[in-house]
Chains A and B, each alone.
Chain A
């Protein structure tokens, strides 16, 4: 039996390193998503997936197809510029494929939707109209509905 080379331990170590390197590169190649963006370091498909998420709110343009008249009426008065969905909720809960799914109801049994914006609080902007129990509101009972006197689409009296 020939004597083993005096450098055989180095060859073994080198061999192990090469095998380890190949293993590492193989695992890395398998673990890296195919669309990986190496410049900015993220999965390139991710923004496309997020962009494909469904929309719930459509903006006022999605309401006008059926409710043009009401929309124009609101635009003529104090609540102009307001989004329909601010009070009525997301359009997808109300309509789909041009058909009505459910009522886009506003809570008419209580005042919370009105007071949500118009309650008199110290944080409100100076010129924002808030409900104050003075002048015109002197005779208002605590349990009276705002909608008794005010029409939400034309809130002025």
Chain B
């Protein structure tokens, strides 16, 4: 067998080194700039798609009745002890912050004890749910592509495809996800995708008696949600997580996490 001849003549070595340098330079540029750097960013978000639908929770209007929690259970057949939406009560005193959510507030709230009541500086009931983030940690961690964002911004779970590994349950900074004990799949709020597609509002928005929950098109000037953005007094939960939620809060006390 003829021996392999390595062509290491000076010319070709120079060529090789030049290629090496140019290759490294290209790789560095790609790493710094990133392949998605030129994508068209959405409103305050990361996704390349234009988003219209937003959910707004006006904390100042919430009376903590739990109608939304009951309606969500009925509409989506959520198993008992689990919640796609729930209401938390925050009582802020000088000694500390009291937070509770008995049974997700499905039966509303009982009066808080007199000792805490007398020290209360600020007390609010905060509805919580999936924030349908634009930069969703749950989508990033799903190993099988069972959770995804639709073109119109709903973050959904494909129960056919989900393997129930619960990575997404851990990844969600809002605690919005759980493993459905009947289906053994990840479950969470869908913003009532089936209702919105049928031209209705989400069930929780439908039954909210004091307009604490609103859902609509951000770019429709007549919608209730557009007025909130016109006044520019909205907040999101945990902005430090850079999840870019599309669930916005009005009148959120800064103590709420």
Q: Which residues on A are within 8 Å of B, measured CB to CB?
A: 6, 33, 36-37, 40-43, 46-47, 49-59, 81-83, 85-86, 89-90, 93, 116-117, 119-125, 128
Contact = CB atoms under 8 A, between A and B. Distances in A.
B194 A117 contact: no
Contact of A123 (B64, B149, B161, B208): B64
Interface stretch (B13-21, B67-75, B164-172, B228-236): B67-75
Contact of B71 (A53, A90, A123): A90
B89 interface: yes
A89 B209 contact: no
Contacts of B82: none
Contacts of B101: none
Given A40-B148, A117-B63, A57 B109 contact: no
Nearest to B152: A47
B61 interface: yes
Interface stretch (B36-44, B128-136, B199-207, B238-246): B199-207
Contacts, number: 119
Given A86-B207, A86-B209, A47 B124 contact: no
A45 B64 CA distance: 37
Contact of B207 (A40, A83, A120, A124): A83
Contact of B156 (A46, A81, A83, A85): A46
Contacts of A125: 60-63, 210
A43 B112 contact: no
- Interface range for B: 35 or more
Interface in B136-172: 145-150, 154, 156, 158, 160-161
Contacts of A43: 145-146, 158, 160-161
A123 B125 contact: yes
Contacts of B145: 36, 41-43
A73 to B, nearest CB: 17
B60 A85 contact: no
B194 A50 contact: yes
A122 B206 contact: no
A57 B203 contact: yes
Contact of A83 (B89, B160, B206): B206
B69 to A, nearest CB: 11
Contacts of B194: 50-55
A85 B150 contact: no
Contacts of B66: 116
A117 B197 contact: no
28 contacts: A40-B148, A42-B147, A43-B145, A43-B158, A43-B161, A46-B160, A47-B154, A47-B193, A51-B194, A51-B198, A54-B194, A57-B74, A57-B195, A83-B206, A83-B208, A85-B207, A86-B208, A86-B209, A89-B74, A116-B65, A116-B67, A119-B108, A121-B64, A121-B112, A122-B112, A123-B89, A123-B124, A128-B63
The 9 closest A-B pairs by CB, nearest first: A42-B148, A46-B158, A53-B194, A51-B197, A122-B123, A41-B145, A86-B207, A123-B123, A117-B65
B108 A116 contact: yes
Contacts of A40: 148-149
A128 B124 CA distance: 13
B112 to A, nearest CB: 7
Central interface residue in A49, A93, A122, by most chain B CB within 10 Å: A122
Contact of B206 (A36, A85, A117, A128): A85
Contacts of B117: 122
B257 interface: no
B85 interface: no
A128 B1 CA distance: 95
B201 A59 contact: yes
A49 B123 contact: no
A109 to B, nearest CB: 16
